[in-house]
Amino acid sequence: MNLNSRKTALIAKICLSFLIGGVPSAFATLPVAVETTQQNGKVTGTVVDQYGESVIGANVLQKGTTNGVITDIDGNFVLNVPRGATLEVSFVGYVTQSVKVTGPTIKIVLVEDSKALEEVVVVGYGVQKKKLVTGATVQVKGEQLAALNTTSALTAMQSMSPGVNITQSSGQPGEGFKVNIRGLGTVGSYAPLYVIDGITGGDINSLNPSDIESIDVLKDAASCAIYGARGANGVILVTTKQGKIGKIQVTYDGYFGWQNSPKMPELLNAKQYMEVQDLIMFNQGGQAIDWEGKLSSGLYNSIMDGSYQGTNWLKLIHNDDAPITNHALNVVGGNDMSKFSLGVSYTSQEGIYGKPVQSDFERTSVRLNSDHVLWKKGDLDVISLSENMTYNYKTKSGIGIGNQYSNDISNVLRANPITPAYNESGDIFAYDDLLASGIFGIIPGAGNPLGYMIYNRGNNISKNHALNMSATLKIQPIKNLVWRSQFNYKMSSSSYRQYVPKYKINPSVNSQAQSDRTQQSASQGWSYSWENTLNYKFSIDTSHNIDLLAGTSIEKWGMGESMEATNSGGLWSDWDHAWLDNMKDVGTASATGSPWGEGGLASFFGRVNYDYKEKYMFSAIVRHDGSSNFASGNRWGTFPSFSAGWVMTNEEFMKDSSNWLDFLKLRASWGQNGNCNVAGFQYLATVSFDKTAAYAFNNQVNNPQTGGYANKLPNADITWETSEQLNFGFDARLLRSRLGVAFDWYKKTTKDWLVNAPVLGHYGTGAPDINGGDVENTGIELALNWNDKAGKEFTYTVGVNMAYNKNEVTRIANAEGILHGPSNVLSQGTTEMYRAEVGQPIGYFWGYKTAGVFQNTAEIDAWKAAGNATMSSNPVPGDLIFVDLNGDKAITDADKTNIGNPHPDLTAGLNLNFGYKGFDLTIAGYGAFGHQIAKSYRKFGDSQYDNYTTDVYDTWHGEGTSNKLPRLVPGNNYNYLNISDIYMEDADFFRLQNITLGYDFKKLFPRAPFQQARLYVTAQNLFTITGYSGMDPEVGASGDETNYSWGSGIDLGFYPSPRTFLVGVNLKF
Amino acid sequence: MKKIIYFAVAAMMFSSCNDFLDSESYTQKNTGNYPLTAEDAEQVITGIYNNLNIVNANPQYSFFYYSELASDDRLGGGGFNDQLMQAEDLMLNTGSTMYTQFYQDRYKGVFRANMAIETLGNCKGVTEEALNQYKGEAYFLRAYYYYELASMFGNIPCPVSSVADPTLPQISGEPLWGQILQDLMAAIKLMPAKAQMGTGHVDKYCAQALLGRAYLFYSGFYNDETVTCPDGTEITKQNVIDEINDCVANSGYSLVPNYYNLWAYTNRCTVNDELSAYKGKGLVWVENDYGTNPEAMFMVKYNTQPSWSTTIGYVNGYALHFGVRGGQDYAKTFPFGQGWGAGPVAPNLYSDWNAAEPNDPRRDASIQKVNDLPGYSYGAGGWNDFAQETDYLQKKIMPVVARKDDGTSFWASFSNAMDPNLTWSSGNEDNFQLNSINDMVLIRFAEVLLMQSELTGDATGMNKVRARAGLPAVAYSVEALRNERRWELAFEGVRWNDLRRYGDDYAKTALDKQNNVNIYLSGTPGKNNVSSINGGYGSRYTQTKGFAPLPTDQISLSAQAGEQYKFKQNEGWGTTDSEYGGWPR
For A655, counting Cβ atoms within 10 Å of its Cβ (0-12 exposed, 13-18 middle, 19+ buried), the class is exposed
Contact A600 B20 (CB under 8 A): yes
Shortest alpha-carbon distance between residue B554 and chain A (Å)? 6
CA dihedral (A291, A296, A299, A305) in degrees, to 10, reads 60
Written in H, E and C, the secondary structure of A805-830 is: EEEEEEEECCCCCEEECCCCCCCCCC
List Cα–Cα distances, A743 to A936, B421, B555, in angstroms. Answer: 39, 72, 48
Residue-level pLDDT at A18: 38
Residue-level pLDDT at A118: 65
Contact B103 A509 (CB under 8 A): no
> What DSSP line would sit under B321-380, residue for residue?
HHSEESS--HHHHTTB-EE--BSPBPHHHHHHHHHH-TT-HHHHHHEEEGGGSSS--TTT
Contact B164 A972 (CB under 8 A): no
The pLDDT of A239-262, averaged and rounded, is: 92
pTM, two decimal places: 0.77
Q: Give a yes or no: residue B33 inside a domain.
A: no
Of the candidates B8, B305, B533, the beta carbon closest to that of A534 is on B8
Query: Nearest-CA neighbor of A513 among A465, A454, A590, A426?
Result: A454
CA distance A834 to A1046: 10
Strands (E), A613-680: 616-627, 636-647, 661-675
Contact A445 B301 (CB under 8 A): no
Written in H, E and C, the secondary structure of B210-224 is: HHHHHHHHHHHHCCC
Of the candidates A760, A871, A874, the beta carbon closest to that of B558 is on A760
Shortest alpha-carbon distance between residue A628 and chain B (Å)? 5
Shortest alpha-carbon distance between residue B532 and chain A (Å)? 9
Contact A974 B424 (CB under 8 A): no
3-state secondary structure of B98: coil
Render pLDDT for B77-133 as a digit per residue (tens, 0 to 9).
998 888 899 999 999 998 778 899 999 999 999 999 999 999 999 899 999 999 999
Show Cβ contacts of residue A23 under 8 Å, excluding neighbours closer than 6 positions: A13, A16, A17
Render pLDDT for A387-430 as a digit per residue (tens, 0 to 9).
999 999 999 999 988 888 889 999 999 999 999 999 999 999 99
Residue-level pLDDT at A1051: 93
Other Cβ atoms closer than 10 A to B24 = 12
Question: Does residue A7 register a pLDDT over 90?
Answer: no
Render pLDDT for A357-393 as a digit per residue (tens, 0 to 9).
878 999 999 999 999 999 998 888 999 999 999 999 9
Of the candidates A628, A711, A872, the beta carbon closest to that of B581 is on A872
Encoded amino acid at A581, one letter: D
Q: Which residues on chain B are in Cβ contact (under 8 Å) with A477?
A: 1, 4-5
CA distance A400 to A387: 40
Whether the Cβ atoms of residue B450 and residue B469 lie closer than 8 Å to each other: no
CA distance A816 to A838: 9
Q: Give a yes or no: residue B222 inside a domain.
A: yes
- Looking only at the bridges linking them, the beta strands covering A1050-1051 and A932-935 are parallel
Q: Which residues on chain B are in Cβ contact (under 8 Å) with A588?
A: 423-424, 426-427, 429
Strands (E), B426-503: 440-444
Encoded amino acid at A349, one letter: Q
Query: Nearest-CA neighbor of B211 among B493, B448, B495?
Result: B448
Query: Nearest-CA neighbor of A832 among A1042, A1039, A1052?
Result: A1039
Contact B81 A977 (CB under 8 A): yes
Of the candidates A695, A714, A973, the beta carbon closest to that of B49 is on A695
Whether the Cβ atoms of residue A621 and residue A222 lie closer than 8 Å to each other: yes
Q: Which residues on chain A are in Cβ contact (under 8 Å) with B303?
A: 694, 696, 700-702, 704
Render pLDDT for A797-815 as a digit per residue (tens, 0 to 9).
999 999 999 999 999 887 6
> What DSSP line would sit under A752-769, residue for residue?
EEEE-----GGG-SBPPP
Cα four-point dihedral sign B136, B137, B142, B147: positive
Question: Does residue A1007 register a pLDDT over 70?
Answer: yes
Shortest alpha-carbon distance between residue A539 and chain B (Å)? 21
Query: Nearest-CA neighbor of A1022 among A1062, A1056, A1060?
Result: A1060
Residue-level pLDDT at A116: 44
Q: Give a yes or no: residue B92 inside a domain.
A: no
Q: Which residues on chain A are in Cβ contact (under 8 Å) with B95?
A: 831, 893
Contact A702 B582 (CB under 8 A): no
Shortest alpha-carbon distance between residue A1053 and chain B (Å)? 23
For the packed helices B537-544 and B504-512, what is the interaxial angle rounded to 10 degrees?
A: 150
Contact A759 B164 (CB under 8 A): yes
Question: Does residue A34 register a pLDDT over 50?
Answer: no
CA distance A86 to A99: 5
State residue A625 phi and psi, 5-degree precision. Answer: -120, 140
Best of A625, A701, A880 to mutate (most B CBs within 10 Å, chain B):
A701
State residue A79 phi and psi, 5-degree precision. Answer: -150, 140
| Structural domain boundaries enclosing B482 | 195-255+294-301+440-487
CA distance A235 to B97: 40
Opening angle at CA A426, ends A424 and A428, nearest 5: 100
Contact B108 A764 (CB under 8 A): yes
Of the candidates B15, B110, B290, the beta carbon closest to that of A699 is on B290
CA distance B179 to B228: 9
CA distance A431 to A448: 9
Residue-level pLDDT at A17: 40
CA distance B94 to B580: 5
The pLDDT of A892-912, averaged and rounded, is: 93
CA distance A309 to B516: 48
Of the candidates B25, B200, B560, the beta carbon closest to that of A681 is on B25
State residue B12 phi and psi, 5-degree precision. Answer: -70, -30
Of the candidates A598, A685, A694, the beta carbon closest to that of B50 is on A694
Of the candidates A442, A702, A713, the beta carbon closest to that of B304 is on A702
3-state secondary structure of A497: strand
Whether the Cβ atoms of residue B14 and residue A485 lie closer than 8 Å to each other: no
Contact A635 B18 (CB under 8 A): yes
Closest chain A residue to the Cα of B424, Cα to Cα: A588
Confidence of residue A843 (pLDDT cuts 50, 70, 90): very high
Q: Give a yes or no: residue B241 inside a domain.
A: yes
Beta partners for residue A44, in sequence order: A78, A105
Of the candidates A534, A601, A632, the beta carbon closest to that of B12 is on A534
Shortest alpha-carbon distance between residue A717 and chain B (Å)? 15
Question: Does residue A2 register a pLDDT over 50?
Answer: no
State residue A623 phi and psi, 5-degree precision. Answer: -135, 140
For the packed helices B100-119 and B38-56, what is the interaxial angle rounded to 10 degrees?
A: 170
CA distance B95 to B104: 16
Closest chain B residue to the Cα of A684, Cα to Cα: B30
Q: Give a yes or no: residue B574 inside a domain.
A: no
A-B contacts (CB, under 8 Å): 304
Q: Give a yes or no: residue B39 inside a domain.
A: no
Mean pLDDT for chain A overall: 88
Q: Give a yes or no: residue B43 inside a domain.
A: no
Closest chain B residue to the Cα of A441, Cα to Cα: B382
Best of B5, B15, B16 to mutate (most A CBs within 10 Å, chain A):
B16
Confidence of residue A36 (pLDDT cuts 50, 70, 90): very low
Question: Does residue A26 register a pLDDT over 50?
Answer: no
Residue-level pLDDT at A37: 42
Q: Give a yes or no: residue B111 inside a domain.
A: no
- The percentage of chain A sitting over the pLDDT mark of 90, rounded to a whole number, equals 54
Contact B430 A514 (CB under 8 A): yes
Query: Nearest-CA neighbor of B60 among B412, B430, B339, B262?
Result: B339
Q: Which residues on chain A are in Cβ contact (under 8 Å) with B161?
A: none
Alpha helices in A296-406 (DSSP H): 297-304, 313-317
What is the arrangement of strands in the sheet containing A212-218, beginning at the earlier edge strand? A137-141, A212-218, A235-240, A193-196, A199-200
Whether the Cβ atoms of residue A669 and residue A641 lie closer than 8 Å to each other: yes
List the CATH number of the domain containing B446.
Answer: 1.25.40.10
CA distance A339 to A786: 35
Residue-level pLDDT at A57: 76
Helix (H) or strand (E) holding B137: helix B128-153
Mean pLDDT for chain B overall: 92
Contact B43 A689 (CB under 8 A): yes
CA distance B449 to B209: 10
- Looking only at the bridges linking them, the beta strands covering B392-394 and B402-403 are unpaired
Best of B23, B419, B436 to mutate (most A CBs within 10 Å, chain A):
B23
Question: Does residue A1003 register a pLDDT over 90?
Answer: no
Best of B42, B81, B99, B410 to mutate (most A CBs within 10 Å, chain A):
B81
Render pLDDT for A551-572 as a digit per residue (tens, 0 to 9).
999 999 999 999 999 998 889 8
Shortest alpha-carbon distance between residue A71 and chain B (Å)? 43
List Cα–Cα distances, A483 to A290, A858, B6, B12, B74, in angstroms. Answer: 84, 85, 11, 10, 81
Contact B426 A566 (CB under 8 A): yes
Contact A587 B424 (CB under 8 A): yes
Tell me the CA end-to-end span of chain A in Å, nearest whole number: 12
Q: Which residues on chain B are in Cβ contact (under 8 Å) with A599?
A: 23
Residue-level pLDDT at B3: 56
Q: Which residues on chain B are in Cβ contact (under 8 Å) with A761?
A: 100, 103-104, 107, 551, 554, 557
Whether the Cβ atoms of residue A772 and residue A813 lie closer than 8 Å to each other: yes
Contact B49 A517 (CB under 8 A): no
Question: Does residue A115 register a pLDDT over 70?
Answer: no
Contact A687 B159 (CB under 8 A): no
Residue-level pLDDT at B15: 42
Contact A700 B14 (CB under 8 A): no
3-state secondary structure of A650: helix
In the predicted model, residues of chain B with pLDDT beneath 70 are 1-18, 382, 427, 585
Cα four-point dihedral sign B513, B518, B521, B522: negative
Encoded amino acid at A904, one letter: P
Q: Which residues on chain B are in Cβ contact (under 8 Å) with A515?
A: 429
CA distance B432 to B393: 18
Question: Does residue A755 register a pLDDT over 80?
Answer: no
Contact B40 A888 (CB under 8 A): no
Whether the Cβ atoms of residue B136 and residue B191 lie closer than 8 Å to each other: yes
CA distance A548 to A559: 34
DSSP state of B61: G
Other Cβ atoms closer than 10 A to A107 = 10
Query: Cis peptide before A356, with omega less than 30 degrees from 0?
Result: yes
Task: Tally the domains of chain B.
Answer: 1
